[in-house]
Amino acid sequence: MRLSEGLAFLSVLPAALAARPFLNEPDTAIEEVLGDTPEGTLPDLESMLGLPDFEWAAKRYLNASSYTYYRNGAAGEWSYRNNLEVYGRFRFRPRVMVDITQIEKTLPTTILGHNFSAPFYISPCASAGLAHPDAEANFVKAAYEENILYIPALLATLSMDEIAAAKPEDGSQVLFQQAYLNSNDTATQQVFDDAERLGAKAIVWTIDSPADGNRHRANRYGVGSSDSDYTLSTWEFYAKLQNMTTLPIVLKGIQHVEDVKLAIKHGVPAIILSNHGGRQLDSSPSSLEVALEVYQEDPDLFNQIEIYADGGIRYGADVLKLLSLGVKAVGLGRSFMYANAYGAEGVRHAIQLLKHEIAIDAANLGVPDLKKIDASYVKWANNGWFT
């Protein structure tokens, strides 16, 4: 092949890859090995070898509407798809001959000053009761046992009081509280007061759904968005909210580097890069793309505010790519919702699997200390998508 022909081939490669068939769950032989599991039953928990396995199992176990509630995306679901596929577009740059034998000891991190065993958390997701009768209590228990953060959703199956009651009596477990907030000051004050009374350590205000989500798949099953109003969310309103609670208010749903800068300017303690799991605005960017935009604009922005990210994370390698840019912790929602079909033990198993993957992937990448991972471990430029 002549050089000119090779360059021509490379120029169309991104489009060719984008057009390839989409695999919601990768083909890792799970169908061949577990495909004879009867519909409506779950395979043995020990046969779940990675986070995508839980979705495969949940899809066969849950009824169609319950599965759709967890699975759905906005419109043509291109952002949902991109959330999953974007991580595969960037290649690692592994280093060798490095002492990685202590990598597991470096997984612990802090989130808003609270100590946790790993740099990931259970994101707020509504209606956990669709997968298991114990609903969000399973997340509380598993998060406590594995010492990771759980952020209950305001629109949970269980009430805020019921979720708090699932915590250990010694008060040692740290939970944040997610909320949708609007101009109804009475309702907002009640959420804040309840969160403080029940021991939440922060409010996570979801700001990426100011209008109803355009969810075709979900609406066919009657399980569309519960937050369907046009909602006020401005920096002036945020300043007002800060005076209504003693808790730090984290902003969830940042998708533009300029909003990162404004968050810093307005004294926001932490932000979450997120496009609502691809369920609000189709063609919205993945959190990895936003994190890369922030890094390209100014890597020091990650030092000026705690930045977390969620969306499409399924593997330890995905976590490492976000951490390498400066993201402090990553959130996962759907995978834990699917794992909840097995109850608290399923959620705990999923947490353990991801911890293990992060450690072994970091070791194979040649990272001796997870705190020292940086952008040099990934080839970010000249891949056909970013320059």
294 in a domain, yes or no?
A: yes
- Provide DSSP, 61-111: HS-HHHHHHHH--STT-HHHHHHHHGGGGSEE----S---TTGGGG--EEE
- Range list of H helices, the chain: 3-18, 30-34, 51-61, 64-71, 78-85, 137-146, 160-165, 185-197, 216-220, 235-242, 257-265, 287-297, 301-304, 316-325, 334-339, 344-365
β-strands 120-122, 149-150 pairing: parallel
Give the separation between CA 42 and CA 219, rounded to whole angstroms.
27
Mean pLDDT of 204-224: 89
Confidence of residue 2 (pLDDT cuts 50, 70, 90): low
**Closest by Cα among 305, 312, 300 to 266:** 305
66 is known to lie in a ligand binding site: no
227 is known to lie in a ligand binding site: no
40 in a domain, yes or no?
A: no
Q: How many domains does the chain have?
A: 1
Confidence of residue 385 (pLDDT cuts 50, 70, 90): very low
Give the separation between CA 78 and CA 165, rounded to whole angstroms.
39
Q: What is the pLDDT of residue 231?
A: 86
204 in a domain, yes or no?
A: yes
115 in helix, strand or coil? strand
Residues 6+ apart with CB under 8 A from 266: 235, 238, 239
**Rounded to the nearest 10 degrees, how much is the dihedral formed by the CA atoms of 204, 207, 211, 216?**
-70
Which tens digits make up the pLDDT trace of 138-158? 999 999 999 999 999 999 999
Give the count of beta carbons closer than 10 Å to the beta carbon of residue 195. Answer: 24
The pair of structure tokens assigned to 286 is 């993945």
Mean pLDDT of 56-60: 97
Which residue range(s) make up the domain with 236?
Answer: 85-379
Confidence of residue 6 (pLDDT cuts 50, 70, 90): very low
74 in a domain, yes or no?
A: no
Residues 6+ apart with CB under 8 A from 109: 115, 116, 118, 119, 328, 329
344 in a domain, yes or no?
A: yes
135 in a domain, yes or no?
A: yes
125 is known to lie in a ligand binding site: yes
279 is known to lie in a ligand binding site: yes
- Look up the pTM and report it: 0.93
14 in a domain, yes or no?
A: no
Residue 343: give its domain's CATH number: 3.20.20.70
Give the separation between CA 306 and CA 300, rounded to whole angstroms.
11
Cα-only R_g, the chain = 21
Q: What is the pLDDT of residue 212?
A: 81
Decide if 276 is catalytic. yes
269 in a domain, yes or no?
A: yes
360 is known to lie in a ligand binding site: no
Residues 6+ apart with CB under 8 A from 374: 324
User: Any bridge partners for residue 249, and if so which?
Assistant: 203
Active site residue: 114, 216, 256, 276, which one? 276
Mean pLDDT of 186-215: 95
